[in-house]
Amino acid sequence: MRTILINCTKIIRFMRTIIEPFRIKSVEPLHFTTPQQRKTALEKAYYNTFLLHADDVLIDLLTDSGTSAMSSEQWAAIMRGDESYAGSSSFFKFEEAVRDITGMPYIIPTHQGRASEKILFSIVGGAGKVFLSNTFFDTTRANIEFSGAKAVDLVCEEGKHPLISAPFKGNIDLVALERAIEEHGVGNIPLVMLTITNNSGGGQPVSMENIRATRAICDRYGLPLYIDACRFAENSYFIKIREEGYRNIPVKEIAQEIFSYADGCTMSAKKDAFANIGGFLAMKDLPLALKCRNLLVITEGFPTYGGLAGRDLEAIAVGLHEILEEDYLAYRIRSIEYLTEKLAAADVPVMQPAGGHAVYLDAATFLPHIPLAQYPGQALVTALYLEGGIRSVEIGSLMFGKYDAAGELIPAALELVRLAIPRRVYTQSHIDYVAEVIIEVFKKKQELKGLKIIHETELLRHFTARLAPIE
Ligand code: F0G
């Protein structure tokens, strides 16, 4: 891998190769399958890779959530977990780690990100309310809508074009934000939320300038600003390498500056905390925190454990420290960029620039001969599995498509396939293999056929839909 950087990498800055900044102490075998076995497994799963058995997958890029490899320090911390029902010492370590980065006084542990969202939006949401964001992640949107409120995405123009490169495609459109505040009325907007990085928009970062400007708009209207902080460290690192004035600032300080502009945050510790489970909700507003804690006790658990075991709190506390190590972040961001570059060099239509946690293929451009109503994204997902046992996920019309009154598909705005890279799990040769498989499929793309849905549910159909190939 070529070095992009800089003063944070101590020895490797003199070398062109960025190596994995860890060595392997414990290994898990991969499961190899024959093409015939994959064909049978896919048929049994009705061409929906969510329905595959994980043992039938060779390289699992379904998600970067909860799939990180924990460090020896995290495993050691797990053994120190204090499982006291109340006042566990593990909670205080967790609380200190979260407070150190976010500066938030009130910290509420939850079992994962969506539990934080459920608690927050059950309290501040409700019919007639409107929430504004760069882009709400699906579970965030679902929790807002479940409360009866409306969720509005206002990502900047560059963020809507997968193949156009820009440094901060996750930014919120500031003009559209002010317009939306005026249109919906300040009194109906409980808060504005920035998702960093913008997962649904391709893991693209939000700049500090944009966060600061959003804060200024919120101040002008007296609105709270919340952060969906799942990938805060990756976003902070992008600010370091792409935004003027941050090159020499430690990533931790960049993260602290981001949170200093916020009134609160939701977090899934399954991403940028290297934990297999966990999350939190944090805020500056005491009356709101008390209401959230009440709901926490009913739905998650006592305030010093939330939905977690003491050992999980320990793993998160250590993970939050490790995620801000700059050698790790240099390797992390570079490995996503490396895969993106390899694909782009073979003319594979891949989202530009590389995001922080995943590589996104533009399936509509990859497979122009498959109409959107025949789900080219899912066709590509199944082809990657058949070719090389790689599991990816469609983020297109299977996930977001709707039907019009005549039952015709209204396709999603973008037809993407996401290959999310678990943290510290796969090595460069695994990534080389992934590139080889994708390029192989690209070479025979004309042979790929579309799919039709034969069974679906009303909500979140992509998880359970059954499909069949169109011959
Ligand atoms: N917000 C963002 C930006 C996310 O990416 C996710 C999860 C959540 C909130 C919810 O967190 O899973 O802990 O409840 N994203 C995963 C993914 C599922 O695959 O992108 P959770």
pLDDT tens per residue, range 337-363: 999 999 999 999 999 999 999 999 999
The whole-number pLDDT of residue 247 equals 96
* pLDDT at 7 > cutoff 50: no
Q: How far apart are CA 308 and CA 302, in angstroms?
A: 10
Sign of CA dihedral 49, 393, 404, 132: positive
Q: Check if the beta carbon of residue 415 is closer than 8 Å to that of residue 396.
A: yes
Hey, which bits of 274-388 come out as E strands?
279-283, 358-362
Pocket lining: 198 vs ligand 1, CB cutoff 6 Å: no
How far apart, in whole angstroms, are the C-alpha atoms of residue 218 and residue 212? 10
Atom 9 (ligand 1) nearest CA: 113
Interval 61-88 mean pLDDT: 98
**Ligand 1 lined by 204 (C-beta under 6 Å):** no
Question: For residue 308, is pLDDT > 80?
Answer: yes
Beta carbons of 113 and 121 less than 8 angstroms apart: no
Q: Is 268 in the pocket of ligand 1 (CB under 6 A)?
A: yes
Average pLDDT of the chain, as a whole number: 95
* In the predicted structure, residue 52 carries a pLDDT above the cut 50: yes
Alpha carbon distance 413, 410 (integer Å): 9
Spatial separation of the C-alpha atoms in residues 339 and 344, rounded to whole Å: 9
Q: Is 207 in the pocket of ligand 1 (CB under 6 A)?
A: no
Nearest protein Cα to ligand 1, atom 19? 63
Residue 302 has pLDDT above 70, yes or no: yes
Query: Which pLDDT belongs to residue 224?
Result: 98
Ligand 1 atom closest to Cα of 139?
Answer: 10
Phi-psi region of 66 (alpha: psi -120 to 50; beta: other; left: phi over 0): left
pLDDT at 382 over 50: yes
- Beta-strand relationship, 416-420 and 358-362: antiparallel
pLDDT value at residue 309: 98
Report the pLDDT value the prediction gives residue 127, as an integer from 0 to 100. Answer: 97
> Over 50: is that where the pLDDT of 398 sits?
yes
pLDDT of 2 over the 60 cut: no
Nearest atom within ligand 1 for CA of residue 64: 19
199 lines ligand 1 (CB under 6 A): yes
> Does residue 112 line the site of ligand 1, with CB under 6 A?
yes
Q: Is the CB of 378 under 6 A from ligand 1?
A: no
* Residue to substitute in 62, 65, 116, 360 for testing ligand 1 pocket (most ligand atoms within 8 angstroms of CB): 65
The DSSP-derived string for 197-218 is SBTTTTSB---HHHHHHHHHHH
- The pLDDT of residue 15: 66
Whether 400 lines ligand 1, by a CB cut-off of 6 Å, is no
> pLDDT value at position 459?
76
User: In which band, very low, low, confident or very high, does the pLDDT at 413 lie, cut at 50, 70 and 90?
Assistant: confident
Mutate to test the pocket of ligand 1, among 111, 230, 232 (most ligand atoms within 8 A of CB): 230
Radius of gyration of the chain (CA): 22
Which residue is listed with tokens 């390498």?
A: 241
pLDDT tier at 248, thresholds 50, 70, 90: very high
What's the CA gap between 372 and 16, in Å, rounded? 42
Under 8 Å between Cβ of 416 and 397:
no
Counting atoms of ligand 1 from 1, which one is nearest the CA of 115?
A: 14
Q: Say if residues 421 and 64 touch (Cβ distance below 8 Å).
A: yes
Q: What confidence score (pLDDT) does residue 11 get?
A: 44
Q: What token pair was written down for 99?
A: 């407070």
Q: How far is CA 88 from the centre of its chain?
A: 30
Closest C-alpha to ligand 1, atom 4? 137
Convert the pLDDT of each residue in 97-121 to its tens digit.
999 999 999 999 999 999 999 999 9
Environment class of residue 444 by beta-carbon count within 10 Å: exposed (0-12), middle (13-18) or buried (19+)?
exposed
CB of residue 116 inside a 6 A radius of ligand 1:
no
Q: Are 411 and 396 in contact (CB under 8 A)?
A: yes
Counted residue by residue, the chain has a size of 471
Ranges of H-type helices in 130-231:
138-146, 174-184, 208-221
Best residue among 268, 272, 400 to mutate for probing ligand 1's pocket (most ligand atoms within 8 Å of CB) is 268
Residue 14 has a pLDDT of: 55
Per-residue pLDDT at 281 exceeds 70: yes
Distance from the Cα of residue 307 to its chain's centroid: 21
- Give the pLDDT band of residue 8 (cuts 50, 70, 90): very low
Q: For residue 17, what pLDDT band results from cuts at 50, 70 and 90?
A: confident
pLDDT of res. 1: 43
Residue 12 in this model has a pLDDT that exceeds 60: no
